[in-house]
Amino acid sequence: MCDVLEERFELSKDGLKQILEGSSLEEKLQQYFTKQASFLLYVFDIYEEVKENGLDNIDINSLKKWNNDLYADILKDEYEDSFTNPKKAVSLFGKEIGQVLSLVAAEIRTVIGFAYEGELFEILIRAELLLELYGSFSDGADIALVKEIIYHYAFDYSEECSLRRVREMVDPSLDFATKIIMNDDLTTTDYLYKFGEYITDNEIKMSKHLASLSDEDIEKIASTYTEGYRIGFINTGKNLYKKKTVNIRYPLGMERVVRRSIELFRNMGLSPVIYRAYNSLFRRQGTNKIGYFGANPNKQYDFDHKEDEALFFDGNFVTRKLECLEKAFEEYKTLANEHAGPAVIESFGEAPYQNIVKDEALTLSEKQQKLTVRYMNGAGITTNKYIIGEERSFTIIAFPVPAIGEKFCDIFNDILRINTLEYELYSNIQQKIIDALDKAEYVRVKGSGNNKTDIKVQLVKLQDPAKETKFENCVADVNIPVGEVFTSPVLKGTEGILNVSKVFLNELEYKDLTLEFKDGRVTSYSCSNYEDDEKNKKYISDNILFHHETLPIGEFAIGTNTLAYVIARKYDIERILPILIAEKTGPHFAVGDTCYSHEEDLETFNPDGKKIVARSNEISDLRKEDMSKAYFNCHTDITIPYDELEYIELYMEDGTSLKVIDKGRFVLEGTEELNKAFEE
């Protein structure tokens, strides 16, 4: 600890203790600051104990106690009376002050992981924020001054926090998590409490289940995952062997698989970078988890605070954040250039939760939403400049968690079966579908029963059919499991209605989701989550359109993994399947960027040797004129399950037509094998 931080640490401790002794504020405010100061002092004690003794030498009972104490305030039963709950805070302090204090309480909670990692600076800046606010309230500060303090906190520390965030993305020497994964005894579950994430039976049972699997099963999972990553580079003609790092993202409990995966990645010459899925004013990720993560103590808490930046988000702040991001990448540009991209293990199976939209929660104004789009575009451009889009790849695989129910072990084994299907069988069948699609001018997708889907998809015209193709034959590489063919549609002429009765997107549920398109762009949207239509529209705007006025269809695909569909029906889990698997169980459309975002000019070929030419659209073509107009930095897949599908019909230039699917079953010659799963 350097002398300056040491001095700040002692001053902060003294200041927080004085808050506990103080009584200069009116009672409710004093209670608020006492609560936050007590929490920070508790975290300070944890930081000092970890620093002095090391996590390996701390008694497991202490680690478990910390796990309970640190997250107690926001658990479901306690959250209603927590200062972090904007509804409670507003009821106590009024709307403006209540929103501010709720935001600050949530920001203070972000120190937990830093105490385990020994990142004192990050803890101190939040403690000093609380002390400054306490002093302001003691002096009778008005709301304008309080907001200014928070603005300067976020503004002034953007540079340091951007430097840390970028370094976490690309520097394998930040190996807090890697050391635990590689060095700890994974046959017990005690190691889970060293991460500083919230640990429940879910993570414990997952770890125990993986410990019970054979080495062969672990090898099968890890090799499918890592080989998918490697093949993704090969299939796109990218040189993996000039890269030195891979980012592993996963839910805690999967360490036995991750350990073997690290060993396999190292055999490829790749060192792991594994960072925590933080959410704070400096690195907001909405309700998404990007990194490694434990249990979610309270999804409503995340939802309530996903737009806290609304308190201060303005044009100057956006400019500042983008400048800091650029500076951080410049600082670590060599490491960034050597980074190969993410390898992601997703999880699914937790009980669905319908988030409550609270009037008391901070929300971005229309102007701020546009600024968010500006920031996202700028951040995407900067990231792709240093972690070069045309040189990186990714892979994603998903598994259920024990919270899925009493049949977890059976479901896990069946998902393992899905994830390791023989790709050659699917590749050959999918090629027959592609051969037919290559002759089509457009495709019509029609829903059945109550499903209102009726959409025409315009396809690119091939200049040399003998050498070119419109659709990619997706095998088990970047998107595991196998089972889809996909394209970037022509926007002009693509129009109609997309509807699905129920779907989960980024862990959020949508009921009767409907999007209407004209020339490939969203023109209207609705769902039935709330009685208030405006709340429904905002829900979609915030979480599917991500504040853009409209988005294009970036992808049209036909899923062929009927086994995944049948297994999902077998266990009644189709509504909670992750997009990664769900998109393979019927036709799907993605709104946002194409699948080839920032890689449109790379040459990619199918297994039959044909070049995939449908890699761009009328919007991404703008990259050559103005990069900020070409990308949206989002891509959300929406799948129509087979049972809600009447047909997929191809319309040829000569006026004839041909069905690929009719009444939810594959009818194209050569695809009959796909229907066998329905007989299980």
Query: pLDDT for 508-566, tens place per residue?
Result: 889 999 999 999 999 999 999 999 999 999 999 999 998 899 999 999 999 999 999 99
Give the whole-angstrom CA distance, residue 371 versus residue 384. 20
Q: Does residue 680 surpass a pLDDT of 60?
A: yes
Give the whole-angstrom CA distance, residue 603 versus residue 312. 44
pTM of the full structure: 0.86
Give the whole-angstrom CA distance, residue 511 versus residue 573. 16
Question: What are the backbone angles phi and psi of residue 499, rounded to the nearest 5°?
Answer: -140, 140
Q: Does residue 493 surpass a pLDDT of 90?
A: yes
- The pLDDT confidence band at residue 286, using thresholds 50, 70 and 90, is low
Percentages (nearest 5) of helix, strand, coil residues in the chain: 50, 20, 30
Q: Does residue 297 surpass a pLDDT of 80?
A: yes
Residue type present at position 107: E
**Closest listed residue to residue 190, CA positions, set 273, 255, 278:** 255
In sequence order, which residues have a C-beta less than 8 Å from that of residue 524 and are 6 or more positions away? 515, 516
Calculate the average pLDDT of the chain: 93
Q: Does residue 476 surpass a pLDDT of 70?
A: no
Domain residue limits, the chain? 3-156, 173-397, 427-439+460-646
Strand, helix or coil at 631? coil
- The pLDDT confidence band at residue 389, using thresholds 50, 70 and 90, is confident
Give the pLDDT score at 230: 93
Secondary structure of 124-191 in the HEC alphabet? Answer: HHHHHHHHHHHHHHHCCCCHHHHHHHHHHHHHHCHHHHHHHHHHHHHCCCCCHHHHHHHHCCCCCCHH
Give the whole-angstrom CA distance, residue 511 versus residue 467. 43
- The pLDDT confidence band at residue 661, using thresholds 50, 70 and 90, is very high
The whole-angstrom distance between residue 167's C-alpha and the CA centroid of its chain comes to 19
Strands 245-251 and 292-293: parallel
pLDDT digits (tens, 9 = 90+) for 133-185: 999 998 887 899 999 999 999 999 999 999 999 999 999 999 999 999 999 99
> How crowded is residue 639: how many other Cβ atoms within 10 Å of its Cβ?
26
Q: Does residue 287 surpass a pLDDT of 70?
A: no
Structure token pair of residue 453: 């889907």
Strand, helix or coil at 525? strand
- The pLDDT confidence band at residue 284, using thresholds 50, 70 and 90, is confident
Q: Does residue 1 surpass a pLDDT of 60?
A: no
Give the whole-angstrom CA distance, residue 123 versus residue 109. 10
Structure token pair of residue 444: 């019509």
Strand, helix or coil at 446? strand
Q: Does residue 340 surpass a pLDDT of 60?
A: yes
Ramachandran quadrant class, 286 (left: phi over 0; alpha: psi -120 to 50; beta: rest) = left
CB-CB contact of 210 with 202 (8 Å): no
In sequence order, which residues have a C-beta less than 8 Å from that of residue 401 and are 6 or more positions away? 202, 206, 251, 253, 347, 348, 349, 350, 408
Residue with tokens 């509504």: 575
In sequence order, which residues have a C-beta less than 8 Å from that of residue 390 and are 6 or more positions away? 238, 598, 599, 601, 602
Give the pLDDT score at 84: 98
> How crowded is residue 425: how many other Cβ atoms within 10 Å of its Cβ?
12
Give the whole-angstrom CA distance, residue 181 versus residue 192. 9
Give the pLDDT score at 74: 96
Give the pLDDT score at 285: 66
The DSSP code for 557 is: E
Strands (E), 358-431: 395-400
What percent of the chain is predicted at pLDDT more than 70?
99
Give the pLDDT score at 478: 73
The whole-angstrom distance between residue 472's C-alpha and the CA centroid of its chain comes to 24
Give the pLDDT score at 390: 84
Give the pLDDT score at 412: 95
pLDDT digits (tens, 9 = 90+) for 196-239: 999 999 999 999 999 999 999 999 999 999 999 998 888 788 89
pLDDT digits (tens, 9 = 90+) for 407-428: 999 999 999 999 988 778 888 9
- The pLDDT confidence band at residue 259, using thresholds 50, 70 and 90, is very high
Give the whole-angstrom CA distance, residue 79 versus residue 89. 11
What percent of the chain is predicted at pLDDT more than 90?
79
Of 241-250, 491-500, 566-575, the poorest mean pLDDT is in: 566-575
Structure token pair of residue 409: 């072990």
Structure token pair of residue 1: 């600890």
